[in-house]
């Protein structure tokens, strides 16, 4: 089954990267003192994330993080300016952890420019609430003799990735104070059967790109009012031509999606949506997909929740 990785730039304003910071630092509180990352914001970006076009892309990973001086097609790569990004490793991590952050730890943000990429780590939070290096499983905050230690680490962050629960969809969010996503990014990595697609603020949210509602009958007026003369209405979410993923790619997953329906109509949750029996002239329906903590809490505007008032004509 094809996997979909959506890439987006997010700044420190109230948008998607600041929500990722919230996910890393403040969600799923544990009894231990909250271990946090102190994120560093530059005034201009110095790196770019792009497809790995070297001859070693199959072994090293489909993406690469480089300085702007590097030719993306250069097969001779210097680890100080070229860092392959292992998307498969991040996907594996997201089977057990809520996020993966790629960053370089740096005391007081003091690190040689040439070492920033080389020292990059894949950071996750374990079940006990500790931030750890995913590769070594080493805690970033080892306890001192008194049983406690500092609970803040300075880090130069590049990007993070989360997964939509129950769907083959990943969201890779770069820190735009450090990284710019290269142009012409959309491509299919045949080695891993992963589709990469860049989405911008103009393209909209995951909700607007993936969960695109369509209706078996009637007309949608505005964003919420549906007018129909039929006694039954089905609302589908993965069959609209404007959606970037289709139900035939999800047929094994859709029955297990966590969907909550609130309505004063009789209704059934079916393969690709919700069917309502319109037994009154006016009613409502609210349909919510549970995609996990990042989408449901940190980034509410990305969480696919739909509310409609249905008018039977």
| pLDDT for 192 | 73
pLDDT of residue 255 exceeding 80: no
Task: Tell me the pLDDT tens digit for each residue of 16-47.
Answer: 777 777 777 766 555 555 677 777 665 455 78
| pLDDT for 54 | 72
Task: Tell me the pLDDT tens digit for each residue of 206-251.
Answer: 777 778 888 989 899 988 999 999 999 999 887 777 766 666 555 5
| SS3 (DSSP) at 271 | coil
Domains belonging to the chain, first-starting first, are 3-203 (no CATH), 210-312 (2.60.40)
What phi and psi values does residue 20 have, to the nearest 5 degrees?
A: -65, -40
- CA dist., res. 1 & res. 168, Å (int): 8
Q: Is the pTM of this model over 0.85?
A: no
> Are 100 and 121 a contacting pair, CB within 8 Å?
no
pLDDT of residue 297 exceeding 70: no
Strands 194-198 and 187-189: antiparallel
Which conformational region is residue 226 in: left (phi greater than 0), alpha (psi within -120 to 50 degrees), or beta? beta
| pLDDT for 12 | 42
pLDDT of residue 120 exceeding 80: yes
| pLDDT for 169 | 84
Helices first, then strands: H and E counts in the chain: 5, 22
| pLDDT for 263 | 93
End-to-end C-alpha distance for the chain, whole angstroms: 42
Which residues are bridge partners to 234 per DSSP?
275
User: In Å, what is the CA distance from 66 to each residue of 29, 42, 63, 77, 170?
Assistant: 35, 16, 10, 10, 22
- CA dist., res. 45 & res. 67, Å (int): 10
| pLDDT for 293 | 73
- CA dist., res. 107 & res. 164, Å (int): 33
> Are 281 and 312 a contacting pair, CB within 8 Å?
yes
Q: Compute the average pLDDT of residues 89-93.
A: 93
Compare 102 and 305 and report the one with higher pLDDT: 102
Task: Tell me the pLDDT tens digit for each residue of 9-20.
Answer: 654 444 577 777
pLDDT of residue 281 exceeding 50: yes
| pLDDT for 250 | 59
Which residues are bridge partners to 288 per DSSP?
260, 305
| pLDDT for 141 | 74
């Amino acid at each position: 089954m094809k996997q979909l990785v959506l890439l987006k730039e997010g700044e420190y304003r109230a948008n998607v990267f600041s929500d990722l910071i919230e996910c890393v630092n403040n969600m799923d509180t544990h009894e231990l003192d909250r271990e946090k990352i102190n994120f560093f914001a530059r005034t201009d970006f110095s790196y770019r994330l792009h497809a790995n076009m070297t001859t070693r892309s199959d072994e090293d990973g489909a993406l690469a993080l480089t300085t702007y001086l590097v030719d993306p097609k250069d097969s001779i790569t210097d680890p100080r300016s070229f860092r392959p990004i292992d998307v498969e490793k991040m996907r594996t991590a997201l089977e057990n952890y809520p996020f993966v952050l790629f960053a370089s730890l740096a005391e007081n943000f003091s690190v040689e420019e040439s070492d920033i990429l080389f020292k990059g780590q894949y950071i996750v939070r374990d079940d006990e609430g500790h931030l750890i290096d995913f590769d070594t499983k080493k805690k970033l905050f080892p306890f001192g003799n008194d049983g406690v230690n500092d609970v803040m680490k300075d880090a130069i962050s590049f990007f993070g990735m989360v997964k939509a629960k129950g769907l083959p969809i990943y969201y890779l969010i770069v820190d735009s104070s450090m990284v710019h996503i290269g142009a012409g990014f959309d491509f299919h990595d045949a080695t891993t059967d992963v589709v990469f697609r860049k989405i911008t603020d103009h393209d909209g949210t995951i909700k607007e790109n993936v969960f695109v509602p369509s209706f078996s009958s009637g007309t949608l007026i505005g964003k919420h009012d549906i007018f129909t003369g039929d006694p039954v209405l089905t609302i589908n979410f993965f069959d609209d031509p404007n959606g970037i993923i289709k139900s035939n790619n999800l047929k094994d997953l859709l029955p297990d999606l966590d969907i909550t329906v609130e309505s004063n109509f009789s209704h059934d949750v079916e393969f690709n949506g919700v069917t309502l029996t319109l037994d009154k002239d006016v009613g409502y329906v609210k349909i919510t997909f549970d995609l996990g903590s990042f989408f449901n809490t940190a980034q509410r505007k990305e969480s696919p929740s739909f509310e409609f008032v249905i008018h039977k004509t």
